[in-house]
Amino acid sequence: MNIAAAKLQSTLVVSLALAVGATSIACAQNPAESVMLVKTAVNYADLNLDSPRGAMTLYRRLKDASRTVCRQLQSMTTVPPDYYECVEASLGRAVHDVNRVSLARVYLGEHRAAIAAKYGIEDTIHYATK
């Protein structure tokens, strides 16, 4: 994989995770309303996720992006989702989708294991088998 492809992947994975998180919450709030997709891209190609500092930096970026997405979603809907639940769901899905132990450990430092389990976050990585 070349460097340009790796950087693109580092941005798209998190962007889609946040978009899915926001969409799921919007649908759950009022299924009769049309689905609103709110997303933001979070680039982490510049970070070393094998280091605690890199994982913490990405976690802060994801948390800020989750807050931004949820504020936008609240302002766009007639029945806005609960802000706290929206942020937690977006953040949990994003951390899960990045699938890095170092990031999961940062998340687990701020959340109970039961909350982390809701989004499939553990301090180990499971790989799909062929």
Non-local (6+) Cβ contacts of 53 within 8 A are: none
Burial class (CB in 10 A: 0-12, 13-18, 19+), 57: middle
**The two structure tokens encoding residue 123:** 């301090």
**The two structure tokens encoding residue 95:** 């951390």
% of the chain surpassing 90 pLDDT: 37
Residue predicted with more confidence, 29 or 101: 101
Q: In this structure, how many other beta carbons lie within 10 angstroms of the beta carbon of residue 98?
A: 23
Question: What pTM was estimated for this model as a whole?
Answer: 0.72
**The two structure tokens encoding residue 28:** 């759950």
The whole-number pLDDT of residue 75 equals 82
pLDDT at 18 over 80: no
User: Mean pLDDT throughout 85-105?
Assistant: 92
Per-domain boundaries in the chain: 3-118
CA-based nearest residue to 91, from 42, 37, 35: 42
